[in-house]
Amino acid sequence: MLANVRNQLPADTSVHWHGLALRNDMDGVPGATQAPIGAGEDFSYEFIAAHPGTYWFHPHVGPQLDRGLYGALIVDDPNEPLVYDDEWVVVLDDWLDGVTGTPDEVLEELSEGMMGMMGGSGGHMLMGARSDLLGGDAGDVFYPHYLINGRPPADPETFTSAPGRRVRIRIINAGSDTAFRVALGGHRLTVTHSDGFPVNPVDTDAILIGMGERYDVLVTLGDGVFPLAAAAEGKGETAFAILRTGSGETPRPSATIPEMSRSILTADALAADPGVAFPSRTVDRELTAKLSGSMMAYDWAINGRRFDPANPLDGALGVRQGERVRLRIENTTEMWHPFHLHGHTYQHAGGGPRKDTSIVLPRKSLTVEFDADNPGLWAAHCHNIYHAETGMMTILGYQTT
Ligand SMILES: [Cu+2]
């Protein structure tokens, strides 16, 4: 794949190909894998897209992601085993840019922590957003809008199809500080993929999806007009689209969707498809990433250190190519974090799903395993963009042997 990037922003940028196991120098992380693309400059990304699935791309510079600088990247499988009639991409986002301020202002305000709040600057910090599913504090940032495919509930995306058709829906959370609970009124969802990789199919009423995560679902369409809704988890607002397969009254964004509060799937309910599960073998290397910090101090860090590209994750440089690595992500904070590893798709320990971005609940830990088969300097970080940009990021780097 070849992507020519022309930077027409008045600032440095880059493109990170989220979830793809590509060659390291195309991963798009300034300071680790490339120099930033300066204003007015060009850069060509060229790499093999080795694995089919639902991916996306976005800059890895400051909070640019929260300005809508992203896109879906769907890698088709030349031997697609699933059978379906239609295929839709559903991108979820939280939006404030140009409405209540800019993402740079939010980052500056949050960085000041409690001091910023006392000083009364901005007012973007969200207090008291709570979610049982997320184990407590749901998010840090107040957003005036929640979007599906770039559209607010007042002007919703409408998907049109026919009853009985089977649809593959690829759901991507491109938000910066919001987990979404996604449901399609009047329908059950069959989850077939997590972060691009197949899982043993599981039926559910709703899915919880953190920032950076993707799920593919299959749905057999009913007859009528239905709400496709993504509740901003713990934030009291809902992103909204419409599915129309027949006649009927258009649902209102405020309508209650029973599926939202029935069975809600999270990644721990999934198991990798046997075709992509890692064969069991001895673990050669154990690493720990301890997530720390608090919303009040906004001192997010990994293993006690804020991001420094020259100072990688403890023990990571000892990894040898070809090793099986076990990574324990320990959340010592009072808030959930969507942890993302670049350049690899790990497997949740104990036969769980293949993923590259995983929700780690407060005071819980998650163990994942991967094969060190892609040498280089790989970023690993929280995909809350404001946590990552204030320090909750590290480098998991290893070299060819
Ligand atoms: Cu975080």
CA of 383 to the centre of ligand 1 (A): 6
CA of 168 to the centre of ligand 1 (A): 30
**pLDDT tens digits, 163-194:** 999 999 999 999 999 999 999 999 999 999 99
CA of 394 to the centre of ligand 1 (A): 13
C-beta neighbour count of 44 within 10 angstroms: 9
What pLDDT score was predicted for residue 175? 98
Domains of the chain: 2-75 (2.60.40.420), 86-269 (2.60.40.420), 285-398 (2.60.40.420)
The single-letter code of the amino acid at 193 is H
**Which helix (DSSP H) or strand (DSSP E) does residue 103 occupy?**
helix 103-111
CA of 219 to the centre of ligand 1 (A): 32
CA of 305 to the centre of ligand 1 (A): 14
CA of 370 to the centre of ligand 1 (A): 22
| CA neighbor of 202 nearest in space, from 194, 214, 212 | 194
Q: What is the mean pLDDT of the chain?
A: 96
> What is the Cβ-side half-sphere exposure of residue 212, based on CA atoms within 13 angstroms?
29
What pLDDT score was predicted for residue 127? 84
Q: Cα 240 vs. chain centroid, distance in angstroms?
A: 19
Distance CA 42, CA 281 (A): 44
Q: What is the arithmetic mean of pLDDT over 66-70?
A: 98
Distance CA 227, CA 127 (A): 29
Extract the tokens encoding 308: 């420094």
CA of 359 to the centre of ligand 1 (A): 9
Greater model confidence, 269 or 295 = 269
CA of 380 to the centre of ligand 1 (A): 12
Residue 188 contacts residue 201 (beta carbons within 8 Å): no
**pLDDT tens digits, 116-157:** 565 555 688 888 899 999 999 999 999 999 999 999 999 999
| CA neighbor of 304 nearest in space, from 328, 332, 285, 325 | 332
Distance CA 223, CA 228 (A): 14
Q: With bands split at pLDDT 50, 70 and 90, how would you rate the model's confidence at 343? A: very high
Secondary structure class of 257 (helix, strand, coil): coil
CA of 252 to the centre of ligand 1 (A): 33
Q: Is the pLDDT of residue 217 over 80?
A: yes
Residue 161 contacts residue 222 (beta carbons within 8 Å): no
* Among the ranges given (87-96, 150-159, 257-266, 306-315), the one the predictor scored with the smallest mean pLDDT: 306-315
CA of 336 to the centre of ligand 1 (A): 6
CA of 52 to the centre of ligand 1 (A): 28
Q: What are phi and psi of 388, to 5 degrees?
A: -60, -45
Q: With bands split at pLDDT 50, 70 and 90, how would you rate the model's confidence at 400? A: confident
